[in-house]
Copies of this chain bind each other. A is one copy, B any other.
Amino acid sequence: MKQVALGIDIGGTNTDFAFIDREGTILEEDRISTVNFQEPEVFVAALMEKVKLMHKKITEPIEIVGLGIGAPMGNINKGTIEYPADLPWKGIIPLAELIREHTELPILVTNDANAAAVGEMIYGAAQGMKNFVVITLGTGVGSGIVVDGKLVYGHSGFAGEVGHTIVRPGRTNRECGCGRMGCLETYVSATGLKRTLFKIMADSIEPSELRDTSFNAMTSLMIAEAAERGDILARRAFEHTGEMLGLKLADVVAHTDPEAIFLFGGLTLAKDLILEPTIRSFEENLLFVYKGKVKLLPSALNTRSSALLGASALAWDQYDKSRE
């Protein structure tokens, strides 16, 4: 019988889900609105009903090995979502417990960066690696840390919040959504790139095609396209972003000494614009014992379906380990 995992990616607007086999092939996928459900119980009931309908579309017999769920502030120790900023639900949502009323299968919940790390290990470029880190560069910055072949969960289930390490200490620095100042994610996320561009536009008097676009209308894609066309301020914004990221990734290495760091998420679509200055700054800032030993690479997961792949990989990883 064909074995599949059910991958579920809960986002602020929509929740995607799919049956995915051990090789990372999506057999069927569908989505449901997240934002339309005020109560998590009703959301879960509707989601599981949609999963049943999706199951019926598959003609061959399948065995589901487990459910892997990526969600903002997903706590892998407890199966909860805790104080999510971007979901319609407040406080601590006992997600695994709610799903447990609909299925007996193993249920794993974690945040998208941890899911991406397991996805990289199961399907991507980290196959066979024992120690690596995945950094997600999207609206925010997330991270998933793997030590000795296992995702680091931490004591309270929230390991890997490298986006909230502080790069610029002091009260006069950039405000972060977490309520503190100077976090990495205020500099090196897609939003951080935009903030850096606006700082550069403020400090410099050089012309730029981006001076006609408002803060709210600006996207990292627009900055990347301007940089490709040679816009000096856009290029400088990528340069600064990469410098800051490389510096901080050198610090990440000094914690768990990984074999590789994978960069994942929207900002990595800018390819060399972000990779080149990041790698340069990373190598420059590494402690001598690590220099030349740690690979800094783009993720090998397809970005469109990577969140789903990552989520399903949680279930596959658990299944693989249960049979060792």
Closest chain B residue to A157 by CB distance?
B257
Closest chain B residue to A161 by CB distance?
B254
Binds B, one of A15-23, A193-201, A244-252, A311-319: A244-252
Question: Closest approach, in angstroms, between the C-beta of A71 and any C-beta of chain B?
Answer: 14
Most chain-B CB neighbours within 10 Å: which of A159, A160, A178? A159
Contact B180–A287 (Cβ < 8 Å): yes
Question: Closest approach, in angstroms, between the C-beta of A217 and any C-beta of chain B?
Answer: 31
Contact B256–A161 (Cβ < 8 Å): no
User: Which residues of B lie under 8 Å from residue A162 when comparing CB positions?
Assistant: 254-255
Closest chain B residue to A150 by CB distance?
B148
Candidates B166, B289, B290; contact of A250 at CB < 8 Å: B166
Q: How many copies does the complex hold?
A: 2
Contact B247–A166 (Cβ < 8 Å): yes
Candidates B131, B155, B160, B255; contact of A145 at CB < 8 Å: B255
Question: Closest approach, in angstroms, between the C-beta of A131 and any C-beta of chain B?
Answer: 4
Question: Closest approach, in angstroms, between the C-beta of A232 and any C-beta of chain B?
Answer: 23
User: Which residues of B lie under 8 Å from residue A178 when comparing CB positions?
Assistant: 287-288
Question: Closest approach, in angstroms, between the C-beta of A285 and any C-beta of chain B?
Answer: 7
Known contacts A145-B256, A165-B251; decide if A158 and B285 are in contact (CB<8 Å).
Answer: no
A147 at the interface (CB under 8 A from B): yes
Question: Closest approach, in angstroms, between the C-beta of A118 and any C-beta of chain B?
Answer: 15
A164 at the interface (CB under 8 A from B): yes
Question: Closest approach, in angstroms, between the C-beta of A17 and any C-beta of chain B?
Answer: 26
Query: Which 10 residue pairs of A and B lie closest in terms of their CB atoms, listed nearest first?
Result: A154-B257, A159-B257, A155-B259, A165-B251, A161-B254, A131-B155, A164-B287, A255-B255, A158-B289, A165-B254
> Which residues of A pack against B, CB within 8 Å?
73, 82-83, 130-131, 145, 147-148, 150, 152-162, 164-167, 169, 178-180, 247, 250-252, 254-259, 285, 287-290, 293-294
